[in-house]
Amino acid sequence: MKRVMLEVAYDGTKYCGWQVQQNGVTVAGVITEELKRLLNEDILLIGASRTDAGVHAMGNVCVFDTESRIPAEKFCYALNHSLPEDIVVQRSCEVPLSFHPRKVKCRKTYEYKIWNADFIQPFNRKYTYFVYKKLDVDKMKEAAAQFIGTHDFTAFCSIHTVVPDHVRTIYEAEVTKEDNLITFRITGNGFLYNMVRIIAGTLVQVGLGERKPESIRDILESGDRSNAGPTAPAQGLTLMRIVYADEEKTQN
C-alpha cells in the first residue's frame, strides 16, 4: 500500500465544487472515477481544500491510497491522458501513509481577481468579478494590510461554517493593479468557509468608498458576519498553491 499525492489545477466553471456530491459533477468526483477505471480499486480521494462551485485552482492537493505498482510520479501522466481538458494533474508523488492534506501545517495562497472597467472583457468573464464603478486601489491596499496577523475571522466566514476554531494567521494580504485588472492575493495557514470571498467583497466596498479602510479592525473585533461585506462571486477566486512545512524548508 502506498499513498500518492496529486497537485491539481482546474477551471471550476462547470463543476459543483471540489467535494464529491450525489447530485452534481465535481472535480474530486471526476478524478476519483478516472482512478477507479485506471486501477480497478475502490478509491477514497482526500482533498486539502474543498473549493466551492465555480472556484478555480492552480494547485489544489489531494491524496489517495493504492496497491498499484504504477510509480507515484507517473500518475500525473496516466490521469492526464483521460481527464477532461479543464482538469490537469500538475504533478504526483509518494507521501507517507500518515500524511493527511488537511492535518499538516501549510501555507495556502489564494488570488481574487476583479475586472474594473466600463465593460466586461469577454475572455476573462469566467475568471474575474466585473465591477464597473471605479475602485480606489490605494484604499483597498490599506484595508487589506489590516488582515495580516493572527485574528478571529468569525465576521469573515459564512454563518454555516462548522469548525471549532475561527482563529487564522494571515502572512500576506496585498492588492495590486495592472491596467483594468485588480488582484487581491492572500496567504495564510488556513481559511474558513467563504472567508476569502467575504474579504474580497468587503475590499470592494472599501474601494467604492462605502466603508473606510480602518473599519476592518472593528469588523474583526465584532465577530459579527453582518458587519462585513457581501460574499464576492465565485468565479473571481483561484486557489494558487499549497505549500506544506517540509516543502517550505526545502525551498528556503
Query: pLDDT exceeding 70 applies to what percent of the chain?
Result: 97
Output the pLDDT for position 100.
94
80, pLDDT greater than 60: yes
Q: Among residues 42, 52, 118, 218, which one is catalytic?
A: 52
E strand or H helix at 196, and its extent? helix 195-207
Active site residue 52: yes
CA dihedral 85, 87, 90, 93 (to 10 degrees): -130
* Mean pLDDT confidence for 229-247: 92
Three cell numbers written together for 3: 499513498
Task: Quote the CA–CA distance of 112 and 158 in Å, as a whole number.
Answer: 17
Q: Does domain 2-95 have CATH number 3.30.70.580?
A: yes
- Under CATH, which architecture does the 106-251 domain have? 2-Layer Sandwich (3.30)
Q: If you search the block for the grid coordinates 462551485, which residue do you land on? A: 53
pLDDT interval class at 250 (50, 70, 90): very low
Judging by DSSP bridges, how do beta strands 129-131 and 106-116 pair with one another?
parallel
Domain ranges across the chain: 2-95, 106-251
| The domains spanning 2-95 and 106-251 adopt the same CATH topology | yes
